[in-house]
Structure 1
Amino acid sequence: MVYFFVSFTPEKTQVNQKELLKFELEIDSLRLVEIENKKPKIYPFNPNFITDYKGYTLGMTTEEIDRLLAFRKQDKWVNSVQEFQNVTKVSDSFLAIISPYFKFPEWVTNPKPKTFTTYQYNNQPKTFEQKQDLNTASALQLQKVNGIGEGYSKRIIAYRDKLGGFIADIQLREVYGLSPEVIDRVVEQFTVKTPKQVEKINLNTASIEQLVTIQYIDYEVAHHIIEQRTLREGYQSLDDLLKVKSFPSNKIEIIKLYLKLN
């Protein structure tokens, strides 16, 4: 009988502590890079257009988001970092993190210096016939209005093209950045003479699918409109929409352009 002796004693492995530490540091570094890459990247944005989801991803509380949305619902605009904090009540530390990404319009961040040009005003308002057609006005013609520069004139025409033509002067309110004073000066010189032809929707027979084709009416509002219509057995006036739950009352005049009764 032959016996074999086998040693099961594990071999000792010499570990270089410096190499091990270096390896661990590399692993930690890669892990940090991976974590950083998974973080949502923040790009410059206009804080006036923060949505519920955008605010959540930025780290805003529900109350802070609601304050901003309520402020914007009044057709008001945040035009500075300080005003953003005044409206939302965010903390100084949080503001310091997100404010570097705020991007306000050029006319807010770099307002043109006021020029003291002498204008000759005619107290006699222009008649409809004397005014130029807002739907055919060129950028250069619009720029003759005090307060309308190259940027605003292009913005008015771009919005006009998007709509396929203005229906009424009131739609100038939807051009971002135009103040009420500037709009008043525009309509002193221009008016819609060739309005875009639209087939108005009958408020008392419209379906949800028809209502949501109107700007500012979503499915929730459309549902409430039809619900109220059923309870009232029909609307007697377009202004009755102001009593509908969640209806954007500040946009009633725009919405009425697309509706009719019976």
Structure 2
Amino acid sequence: MWKDFFYYSRSERRVILLLLGLLVVLATFWAVCRITEPPGQTYQEDSAEIDSFLASVKQRELDYTKRRYTKVRGKEQPEAVLAVFDPNTADSFQLRKLGLPSFVVRNILRYREKGGRFRTPEAFARIYGLEEKQYLLLRPYIRIQEVDDRSGFPQAQEEKAFLASVQRIEKYPEGTLVSLNEADTAELKRVPGIGSGIARMIVAYRNRLGGFTHVEQLQEIPHVDTCLNKWFVAKGVPFRKIRVNKDGLDKLRNHPYMDFYKAKAILEYRRKRGHIKGLSRLSLFEEFSEKDLQRLSPYLSFE
């Protein structure tokens, strides 16, 4: 029975052969067209598409960069208003008004806070983040005040008046001894060679220490010379000590002779083994050197 499905008459076989011949001719024609097609045409079309895509990507990157520098926290950055300024005295508002990015303004202020000073416009150009194009735009507007070589400060009239008022403070005569642990800033300023700034630093460091145990600790304060030691005497014991078995991490590491790792070692020992009974136990900690223990011993309480 299945042979009946494959039985064709003579006319049907002719039609089938004709169709097969047409398919062969069409396939041959298509193959010849593919072979004779110019080899660079497809490549050129693909290359054009790739170039177009890369151009669009580059344009998006440029647009993003432009938005990044023209927007600050979602707000349009105001148009720069160029005016004469001194990079040593201009505040953040003035610097931002000149068109400087916020991170460059922060770098300028941090540099000044650490005692840095721009002595020439070229020194200002070296601030981190300031682009050369922006510096060249601001260069004609930079005005740096002259500096007194003796004091290192601008010779503004108000500062001269301030220095004169400081000099009018009645100073102690030679041979006077001041209690280092009891003197306030007013009394400290009466010591020759001590002004408001150093007086405040001495009081602040004394509060962090818990009291001076010897006069030589003054040299641990920046800008305090040994010539000032002759004016002071350290009396009594520290008025505040480190409670080794009670204080938390912040109080422990806030002391000038401690740090995070020393404080962490104490807390870990307390958590695992309980109270620390004395200085000899701390000497077993690798975080504490012999010098550390000598400096800390007057300030430690093991109650």
Q: What TM-score, normalized to structure 1?
A: 0.40
Q: For CA contacts below 8 A with separation 6 or more, give which structure has more relative contact order.
A: 1
Mark the structure with the bigger radius of gyration: 2
Q: Give 1 or 2: higher helix fraction.
A: 2
